[in-house]
Structure 1
Amino acid sequence: MTADDELRLLPWSGPDGKPCYLSTDDSHGHLSRVADNTEAVQLGMAAELLERAVDVLSDDETEPNELRLLATDLSGALRDAIRVAISRGHRLRPPTATPGDGDDEALRLPVAFG
C-alpha cells in the first residue's frame, strides 16, 4: 500500500469522539483544503497558546485555577498537534530503501490515533 492509497486522518473527531478519515485521490479537493486550513488554524492556535503558557508560568502569582485551565488548553493543543503530525506523516512518501538496509517496517507510522 502506498501513501496515496491510505486514508487521510482528518483534524477533527466524529460526534462520538472517534477519528475521521478521508478517502480521496484528490489532495486539492474541497474537503482536503478544509482539512489543510483546519490544521493550519490548530497549529497557529497551539503556537499562541505556548506563548501564553510561558507568560503564565513565569508569573509567581498565577492562581491554581488558571494553571488548571492552561493545562487543559495545552492538552487539547497537543492532541491536535499530534493528530496533524500523524496525518502528515502518513502522507509522506516513504524513503526509498536500498537492499540490505534492514527492515522497512521501522519506517512506518502508527496506523491510528485514539
Structure 2
Amino acid sequence: MDMEPAARLLPWTGPDGKPCYLLTDKSGGYVSRVADQIESVQLGMGTALLGHAEALLDDPRADTFQLRFLSARLTEALRDAVRVAESRGARLPEPDTARRPDPDGPSRHGAAGR
C-alpha cells in the first residue's frame, strides 16, 4: 500500500506572504488538526462578516470609511475562503473513471441513430 505524503495547503501564509504547505499522510496529525480548526474559524468569521455587510449596505448612513473598512475585511475573508476551498479541493480523491458515465451518453446515439 503506497502512503506517499501529500502536500496540504495550510490556511495561513509565511512571513513573506507565500503559501505554506504541510507534507502529511492521510491520517493527518497535530498541525493538520490545527489547520482544520483555523479553517473552521476563518469560514465562521466570513459568515458573520456577511451578515454585518448586509446590515451595513442597507444602512443609508454608512459612510465611506465604514464601507472601505468593510471592503478590506470582505477581501480578507474571501481570500481565506478561496484558500480553504483550494486546500480541501486538492485533498479530494480522484474520481473513479471506471464508474464515470460516458460523456457522449447513450442518448446521443439513441433517437437520432434509429
TM-score, normalising length: structure 1: 0.80
- Matched residue type, 1:9: L
Deviations 1:54-88 (A, max 9, x none): 00000011000000000000000000000000000
| Separation (CA, whole Å) in 1 of partners of 2:42 and 2:27 | 19
Number of the residue aligned with 2:70: 70
Aligned residues: 100
Q: Which has the higher helix share?
A: 1
Distance (Å, rounded) in 2 between the aligned partners of 1:71 and 1:27: 38
* Identity in percent: 53
Provide structure 1 residue ranges, at least 5 long, that are not aligned to the other structure. Answer: 103-114
My pick for the range that moved more, 26-35 or 86-95, is: 26-35
CA RMSD of aligned residues (A): 2.0
Structure 2 segments unaligned to the other structure (5+ residues):
104-114
TM-score, normalization by structure 2:
0.80
Larger Cα-atom Rg: 2
